[in-house]
């Protein structure tokens, strides 16, 4: 575990050279070796490629939405607009954000971090990728042939009775993709329980692993509920079952309860892994032990647990019982506490550290700053008084984009840059990384900050036309989206380039601590020659290089 | 691995081969409870009907989980998984219920 | 710059002030927190920037005191926000007794509104300044949401139930009415205007148009046409409960439970009479589901609401919140 | 703990069923069993959505649920419950046989389980077709209990609004029992596959994890029915 930081590669003679002859990547490039692989690292790459594709598709629809909103009367038809924002939401939520960090970085890193040769069920891992592709493919088929105009929330009775679009196919696609997520979570839970290396006790686990453990609980216990709910929507359309049909005494609001039971915790599926990434990065780039390890670890579990108790804060204006609303609002405030704890602990970790401003760390700064806004604006929406005005407006849109883009995607990009040398064995060009992270930061804020104002002013979401007085802010937002879009193109290109032309990275280019950095880059198929024995606490940066 | 890993690798883990008679007894118990729930359904206990029916069903399910599914002889972690699933199941039904219980909507029956 | 661009929306009803007060309280508190974290973040990032590859920061142990502080202080502040917000919400859900009732029927993609005096409007609502307006709302198809940013009120309009909202306008003018719940293709165009007028001007406006039937009168007529009178009148051969004075009062049911006869209960008893039989009566009433439209139902309920027993004091208007409050009170005992 | 980190060469002499990424068979078994339990937890919540809907609607429409329930055949339902419990017994016995290394017992009991499961599904098919057959065609639909345009409220003596509510009962009936039956339909080929593995002598008292896992699955499916039976067949009005 010891590393001489100044010159990490040379100081570790026992480790293999920078370009190991045998790595998971060198095992062949034919299609078969990829499509039938059971190696968690290769499956991680398969996911990485697929979600990048889905992200590109989702971004395209976002561009359509922002372009339409440049002028008050819209540029495209109402129907095309409705289908675009639905497609954006469905693709980004179900096909990009939910699998993003867990299925790529989590898949790749968890066995490496806990000292295992693979996930507990490699075949199920591959199966989950195939389910994801089949589900994602069906969903895209629905979007491209006729489209879907229900919004990603599928609210009944619109989705069951009135929508003329491809609801059934999309619903079944999302249902299948949901099982991919469940299987990933199941694999993580079992792996973390049963596959840890000797000496890797629960409180020596990297916080990235803790975050994924909490995420996996949500995936396993929440996803099935949305799966059945979406299935009921399809059944109601196909067989005319009356679950949510008010004409037969069914309750459309029941759909919202069942839907949000999953879909609120799903937000934590997106953000928790990102928080895990941030915990790793903060330590590595400030050479400090994490401040309040157990508080961060436990707050992940607390978020996963309390996150299941707050769903009806999406429903305060549906006419739900006032006392029930109060209970849900109170619980919503409670779930804000663990997120606050994490933010404070990350900031405190920097105190008297040795802070290195590399690209991943810049993403950490972005994350903390933006997640803070996202989280704090959540307090307006969890508040019964202000939610009445703000819900279903652009304030909500801005809020969850600050969480999902400012939080989840910043964490994802930070993590991707941090572990890129481990995954590919090569370095990307640092200056490009810095420039693009700044571009993304500026573009993001310009896109979404005006939306807070729009929401407070009262512009409802999902509007393809709007009153004239909202135009200034909408134009600003669309301008920001353009910058953001270009910002995203950069990492895509320079990472792709570095994959072929990048400088060899060596096993531990950042001088970071963790079992994954003791393996060669890229790691061999078996991960470890010998299963390591863990003897130290996590993030033991203060004692680094003293052995 | 869990620090308190039990037997060495090569020993059989299954220390508890439950005698088959236990299964037969449990089966008979399940049949008996099925008969009970059918007979009891013939009487009207008012609002208690559902409680009686669910009580018997829960007893039956517990027998299956504990004996047929060996939960009684399994590691504690199995119990934790079952408890977690049950807890979230209860949250789903109960918190949804809080809305319907006091909601002014044609559905409610006081 | 477009006309009317501002950073804050108009504040044109009592509810707007209440909501804004909470809004700005949260804004200030969260703003200070955010500022604190940003300043610390930037300061630490700059001050402790790595100067040499051989930097070895000192070990700093976590601090229980700090952890407790930054758990409990935000928690306390957030509880304040919660309680304040809950109070406002409670108030928003409890129309005052003197409110005039406007009925709202939403359908894709229009708002149909009716004044207590019977005037109907589409996508436009004229209201008098300073008078509380209670909106009783239902939908004929998908879920919609009645949203007036200048009043800071919003309530979903859900098929199969009555949702209630209210406001008291404090400023003359014309304000946006939006549909805030996505309801299909022309969702964005399902808007309208709320026109706040001087009470005198409002009366004049009412008088200017054709004089329609009030919902109460329409309801009374329907009550006769649908033969409700045969069973539900003190002077009829009694087979059903007498409905005079029933509104707003507890009704004992055959099941032994008690409900308060509010809009929703009355509506349910018309479309689904068997659901809650009043104690002492037989479930002989046929259902009227499919025979009366949502608007006719509203008229019938309005008529029943108006049937106050002569000797009886005017009952407190029972609303969703009020009814829930009654329940909460029971539970509390 | 050092034996856990044994190099691959040493581990290779162990059981042929041991997969490369596990340290030993014990770890592999524990992982598999935990995985199955987590899967069952997931299944519980999957059915949970339907149970929540059931709870809400039954609370709201007790009369309609009683009306609907009276049109389910209690005798058949009871008999089928006993058949399914019987299949759970044979499944438990199959696992027992595998644990004591009785190959013929394992296979025989698994086949018995499949047989009983088949009987259950056959009866279910009969129950379904009785309710669905009248809905087909476009003339008369007397006796049709499938929710939708052809639903015949007269069959259940429901009128007006409660006709819709009885449809909700039958939506839940078809949804819940259908999903349950689907789980059995998925389970049967899996049992047959594992029975074939057992027949080829792939399992020993030390290693018969697949038998245990499919047993857990089958018992879980049984438990779902244990709840569905009283909730759907034994609803009494008041």
The 10s digit of each residue's pLDDT in D91-123 is 999 999 999 999 999 999 999 999 999 999 999
- Chain C nearest CA to D143, separation (Å): 22
B49 near D CB under 8 A: yes
User: Are both B80 and B99 inside the same structural domain?
Assistant: yes
Q: With a cut of 0.90, is the ipTM above it?
A: no
User: Are both B49 and B59 inside the same structural domain?
Assistant: yes
User: Are both B48 and B79 inside the same structural domain?
Assistant: no
CB contact under 8 A, A322 and C149: no
CB contact under 8 A, D162 and C272: yes
B78 near D CB under 8 A: yes
CB contact under 8 A, D89 and B24: yes
pLDDT at A364 over 50: yes
- Write out chain B residues lying below 8 Å of D83, CB-based: none
Taking all residues of chain D, what is their mean pLDDT, rounded to a whole number?
Answer: 88
Q: So where are chain A's domains?
A: 38-537
User: Are both B67 and B87 inside the same structural domain?
Assistant: no
Q: Which residue in chain B has the smallest CA separation from C318?
A: B104
pLDDT at A8 over 70: no
**Helix, strand, or coil (residue C178):** strand
CB contact under 8 A, D33 and B78: yes
User: Are both B33 and B58 inside the same structural domain?
Assistant: yes
What CATH number is given for A38-537 in this structure? 1.20.210.10
Q: Locate tokens 């003359």: which residue?
A: C172
Arithmetic mean of pLDDT, A80-97: 95
D59 near C CB under 8 A: no
Q: Which residue in chain C has the smallest CA separation from B102?
A: C324
Going along chain D from its start, the domains and CATH numbers come out as 51-233 (1.20.120.80)
CB contact under 8 A, D92 and B7: no
User: Are both B94 and B67 inside the same structural domain?
Assistant: no
The number of domains in chain B is 2
Q: Where in chain C is the domain with CATH 1.10.760.10?
A: 215-321
- The whole domain housing B69 covers 18-74
pLDDT of residue B4: 37
User: Are both B60 and B93 inside the same structural domain?
Assistant: no
The class of domain C8-44+64-212 in CATH terms is: mainly beta
- Write out chain B residues lying below 8 Å of D231, CB-based: 53, 57
Tokens of A189: 């839970």
> Per DSSP, which regions of chain D are E strands?
none
Q: Where in chain C is the domain with CATH 2.60.40.420?
A: 8-44+64-212
Bridge partners, C258 (sequence order): C252
State pLDDT tens for residues C195-248: 999 999 999 998 887 777 778 888 888 888 887 777 777 666 557 777 877 777
User: Are both B65 and B55 inside the same structural domain?
Assistant: yes
Arithmetic mean of pLDDT, D1-29: 65
B5 domain residue, yes or no: no
From C271, C274, C287, residue closest to D63, measured CB to CB: C274
CATH 2.50.20.10 fits C215-321, yes or no: no
- Chain C nearest CA to B99, separation (Å): 11
- Chain B nearest CA to D76, separation (Å): 12
Arithmetic mean of pLDDT, D79-95: 96
Q: What is the pLDDT along chain C (333 residues), one digit of tens a residue?
A: 344 567 888 999 999 999 999 999 999 999 999 999 999 999 999 999 888 877 777 777 778 888 898 889 999 999 999 999 999 999 999 899 889 999 999 999 899 999 988 888 999 999 999 999 999 999 989 999 999 999 999 999 999 888 999 999 999 999 999 999 999 999 999 999 999 999 999 999 988 877 777 788 888 888 888 877 777 776 665 577 778 777 777 888 777 777 778 777 787 788 777 777 787 777 777 777 767 777 788 888 888 888 776 544 333 333 333 343 333 333 332
Which pLDDT band holds residue B109 (cuts at 50, 70, 90)?
A: very low
Tokens of A481: 């989206």
| Cβ-proximal residues to A503 (8 Å cutoff; 6+ apart), any chain | A426, A427
Could you give the count of Cα atoms lying within 13 Å of B85 in the half-sphere of its Cβ?
A: 22
pLDDT of residue A152: 94
B66 domain residue, yes or no: yes
Q: Is A37 exposed, middle or buried (0-12, 13-18, 19+ CB in 10 A)?
A: buried
Distance, C-alpha C149 to centroid of its chain = 14
In the 8-state DSSP scheme, what is residue A393? B
Which of C38, C40, C80 minimizes the C-alpha distance to A372? C38
Which of A314, A357, A352 minimizes the C-alpha distance to A461? A314
Cβ contact A454:A470 at 8 Å:
yes
Q: Locate tokens 């572990």: which residue?
A: A419
In the 8-state DSSP scheme, what is residue A358? -
Cα–Cα distance measured from residue C126 to residue D130, given in angstroms and rounded to the nearest whole number = 58
| Window A:207-246, CB contacts with B under 8 Å | 217, 221-222, 225
């Amino acid at each position: 575990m010891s590393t001489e930081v100044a010159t990490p590669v040379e100081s570790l003679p026992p480790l293999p050279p920078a370009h190991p002859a045998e790595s998971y990547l060198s095992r062949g490039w034919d299609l078969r070796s990829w499509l039938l692989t059971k190696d968690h690292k290769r499956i991680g790459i398969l996911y990485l490629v697929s979600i990048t594709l889905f992200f590109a598709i989702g971004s395209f629809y976002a561009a359509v939405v922002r372009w339409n909103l440049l002028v008050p009367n819209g540029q495209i038809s109402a129907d095309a607009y409705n289908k675009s924002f639905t497609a954006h939401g469905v693709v980004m939520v179900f096909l990009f954000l939910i699998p993003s960090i867990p299925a790529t970085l989590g898949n790749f890193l968890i066995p490496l971090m806990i000292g295992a040769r693979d996930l507990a069920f490699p075949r199920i891992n591959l199966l989950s990728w195939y389910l994801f592709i089949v589900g994602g493919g069906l969903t895209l088929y629905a979007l491209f042939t006729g489209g879907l105009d229900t919004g990603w929330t599928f609210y009944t009775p619109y989705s069951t009775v009135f929508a003329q679009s491809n609801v059934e196919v999309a619903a079944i696609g999302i249902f299948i993709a949901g099982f991919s997520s469940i299987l990933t979570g199941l694999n993580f839970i079992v792996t973390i329980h049963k596959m840890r290396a000797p000496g890797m006790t629960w409180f020596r686990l990297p916080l990235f692993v803790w975050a994924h453990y909490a995420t996996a609980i949500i995936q396993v216990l929440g996803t099935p509920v949305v799966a059945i709910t979406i299935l009921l929507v399809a059944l109601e359309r196909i067989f005319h079952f009356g679950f949510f049909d008010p004409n037969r005494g069914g309750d459309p609001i029941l759909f919202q309860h069942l839907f949000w039971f999953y879909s609120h915790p799903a937000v934590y599926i997106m953000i928790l892994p990102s928080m895990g990434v941030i915990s790793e990065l903060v330590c590595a780039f400030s050479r400090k032990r994490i401040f309040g390890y157990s508080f961060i670890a436990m707050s992940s579990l607390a978020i996963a647990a309390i996150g299941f108790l707050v769903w009806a804060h999406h429903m305060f204006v549906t006419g739900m019982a006032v006392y029930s609303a109060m209970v849900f609002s109170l619980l919503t405030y409670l779930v804000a506490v663990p997120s606050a704890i994490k933010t404070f602990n990350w900031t405190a970790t920097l105190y008297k550290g040795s802070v290195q401003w590399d690209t991943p760390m810049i993403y950490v700064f972005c994350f903390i700053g933006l997640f803070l806004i996202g989280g704090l604006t959540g307090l307006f929406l969890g508040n019964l008084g202000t939610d009445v005005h703000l819900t279903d407006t652009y304030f909500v849109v801005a809020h969850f984009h600050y969480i999902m883009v400012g939080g989840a995607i910043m964490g994802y990009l930070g993590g991707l840059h941090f572990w890129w040398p481990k995954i590919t064995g090569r370095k990307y060009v640092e200056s490009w990384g810095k420039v693009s992270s700044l571009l993304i930061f500026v573009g993001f804020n310009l896109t979404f900050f005006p939306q807070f104002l729009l929401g407070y002013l009262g512009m409802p979401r999902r509007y393809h036309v709007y009153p004239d007085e909202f135009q200034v802010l909408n134009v600003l937002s669309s301008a920001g989206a353009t910058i953001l879009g270009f910002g995203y193109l950069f990492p895509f290109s320079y990472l792709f380039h570095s994959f072929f032309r990048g400088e060899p990275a060596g096993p531990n280019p950042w001088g970071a601590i963790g079992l994954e950095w003791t393996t060669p880059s890229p790691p061999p198929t078996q991960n470890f020659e010998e299963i390591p024995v863990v003897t130290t606490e996590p993030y033991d940066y203060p004692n680094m290089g003293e052995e | 691995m869990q620090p308190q890993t039990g037997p060495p690798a090569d020993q059989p883990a299954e220390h508890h081969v439950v005698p088959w008679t236990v299964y037969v007894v449990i089966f008979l118990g399940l049949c008996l409870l099925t008969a009970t729930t059918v007979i009891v359904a013939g009487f009207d206990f008012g609002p208690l009907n559902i409680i009686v029916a669910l009580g018997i069903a829960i007893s039956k399910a517990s027998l299956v989980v504990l004996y047929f599914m060996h939960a009684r002889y399994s590691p504690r972690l199995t119990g934790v998984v079952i408890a977690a699933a049950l807890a979230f199941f209860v949250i789903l039904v109960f918190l949804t219920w809080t809305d319907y219980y006091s909601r002014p909507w044609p559905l409610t029956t006081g | 710059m477009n006309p009317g661009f501002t950073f804050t929306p108009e504040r044109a009803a009592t509810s707007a002030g209440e909501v804004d007060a909470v809004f700005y309280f949260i804004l200030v508190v969260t703003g200070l927190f955010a500022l604190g974290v940003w300043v610390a973040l930037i300061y630490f990032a700059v001050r402790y920037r790595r100067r040499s590859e051989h930097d070895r920061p000192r070990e700093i142990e976590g601090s229980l005191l700090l952890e407790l502080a930054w758990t409990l202080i935000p928690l306390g502040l957030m509880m304040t926000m919660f309680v304040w917000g809950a109070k406002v919400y409670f108030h928003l859900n409890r129309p005052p007794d003197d409110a005039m009732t406007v009925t709202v029927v939403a359908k894709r993609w229009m708002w149909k509104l009716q004044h207590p005096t019977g005037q109907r409007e589409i996508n436009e609502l004229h209201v008098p300044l300073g008078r509380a307006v209670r909106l009783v709302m239902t939908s004929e198809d998908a879920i919609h949401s009645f949203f007036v940013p200048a009043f800071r009120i919003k309530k979903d309009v859900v098929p199969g139930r009555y949702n209630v909202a209210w406001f008291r306008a404090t400023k003359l003018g014309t304000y946006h009415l939006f549909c805030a719940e996505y309801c299909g293709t022309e969702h964005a165009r399902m808007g309208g205007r709320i026109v706040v007028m001087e009470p005198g001007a409002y009366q004049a406006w009412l008088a200017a148009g054709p004089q329609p039937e009030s919902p109460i009168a329409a309801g009374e007529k329907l009550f006769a046409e649908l033969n409700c009178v045969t069973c539900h009148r003190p002077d009829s051969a009694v087979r059903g409960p007498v409905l005079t004075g029933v509104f707003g009062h507890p009704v004992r049911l055959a099941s032994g439970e008690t409900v308060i006869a509010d809009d929703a209960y009355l509506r349910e008893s018309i479309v689904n009479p068997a659901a809650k039989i009043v104690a002492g009566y037989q479930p002989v009433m046929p259902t009227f589901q499919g025979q009366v439209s949502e608007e006719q139902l509203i008229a019938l309920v309005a008529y029943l609401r108006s049937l106050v027993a002569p000797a009886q004091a005017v009952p407190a208007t029972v609303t969703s919140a009020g009814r829930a409050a009654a329940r909460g009170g029971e539970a509390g005992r | 703990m050092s034996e856990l980190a044994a190099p691959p060469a040493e581990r290779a002499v162990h059981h042929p069923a041991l997969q490369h990424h596990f340290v030993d068979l014990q770890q592999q078994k524990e992982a598999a069993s935990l995985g199955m339990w987590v899967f069952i937890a997931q299944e519980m919540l999957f059915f949970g959505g339907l149970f929540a809907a059931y709870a809400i609607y039954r609370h709201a429409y007790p009369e309609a649920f009683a009306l609907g329930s009276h049109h389910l055949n209690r005798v058949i339902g009871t008999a089928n419950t006993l058949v399914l419990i019987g299949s759970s017994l044979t499944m438990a016995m199959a696992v027992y046989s595998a644990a004591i290394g009785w190959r013929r017992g394992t296979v025989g009991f698994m086949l018995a389980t499949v047989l009983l499961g088949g009987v259950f599904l056959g009866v279910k098919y009969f129950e379904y077709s009785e309710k669905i057959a009248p809905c087909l065609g476009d003339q008369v639909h007397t006796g049709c209990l499938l929710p939708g345009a052809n639903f015949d409220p007269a069959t259940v003596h429901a009128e007006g609004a409660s006709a819709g509510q009885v449809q909700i009962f039958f939506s839940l009936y078809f949804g819940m029992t259908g999903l349950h039956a689907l789980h059995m339909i998925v389970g049967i080929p899996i049992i047959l596959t594992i029975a074939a593995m057992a027949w080829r002598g792939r399992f020993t008292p030390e290693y018969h994890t697949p038998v245990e896992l499919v047993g857990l699955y089958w018992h879980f499916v049984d438990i779902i029915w244990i709840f569905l039976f009283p909730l759907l067949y034994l609803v009494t009005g008041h």
